[in-house]
Amino acid sequence: MADGMANSTGNPMVGGAEMYPTKNIIENAVNSKDHTTLVAAVKAAGLVETLQGPGPFTVFAPTNEAFDALPAGTVEALLKPENKAKLTKILTCHVVAAKALSGPIMKMVDDDNGAHPVKTVGGCVFTIMYKGDNIMIKDGQGNIAHVTIADVKQSNGVIHVIDRVLLPAS
């Protein structure tokens, strides 16, 4: 079954694992083979409890490939205890304190003439746009992430899988 497609139970598949709308963000993310780096980073940053909380949260979840695309050594450096604050900032810049499904996101973009600013839990302000059915997020450094799997519903919010790590303005 291809990622993003619903299986026979109607639940989407992410990283080869069924995503259950009755489970929270962490309970689902730990089963995705495409998000092992993200899960390790969330653990290193001490954000597991937060993302298991009631939310609601929207998480833009970078894949392992997205983390691998960062300059060599970046992920290893960020996972070191002395870089916990920087790691936490980057990760919380992937979280919005609301449940934002793609339909309402596209309406906000339309209402803002094609580009909607979104403030993240980490204090970053990113710009959301879309073309056709493809939602894109421009980070603080001008890089564009594409939502590859949208609207993966969780008990405490929603996950949108993205193909790039969102970075704050430097």
Residue 53 has pLDDT above 70, yes or no: yes
Residue ranges per domain, the chain? 13-162
pLDDT digits (tens, 9 = 90+) for 118-151: 999 999 999 999 999 899 999 999 999 999 999 9
Asked whether the predicted pLDDT for residue 30 surpasses 60, the reply is yes
- State mean pLDDT over 100-105: 94
Amino acid 51: pLDDT: 92
Beta bridge partners of 130: 135
The pLDDT value given to residue 123:
94
Residue 118 confidence (pLDDT): 95
Global confidence as pTM: 0.93
pLDDT at 9 over 80: no
Report the CATH architecture of 13-162. Roll (2.30)
Percentage helix, strand, coil for the chain under 3-state DSSP, each rounded to 5: 30, 30, 40
Cβ 159 vs Cβ 19: under 8 Å: yes
Task: For the chain, report the end-to-end CA distance as a whole number of angstroms.
Answer: 40
Average pLDDT, the chain: 92
- Whole-angstrom distance, CA of residue 58 vs CA of residue 120: 9
- Decide which of 4 and 23 is more confident: 23
Residues 6 or more apart in contact with residue 36 via CB below 8 angstroms: 64
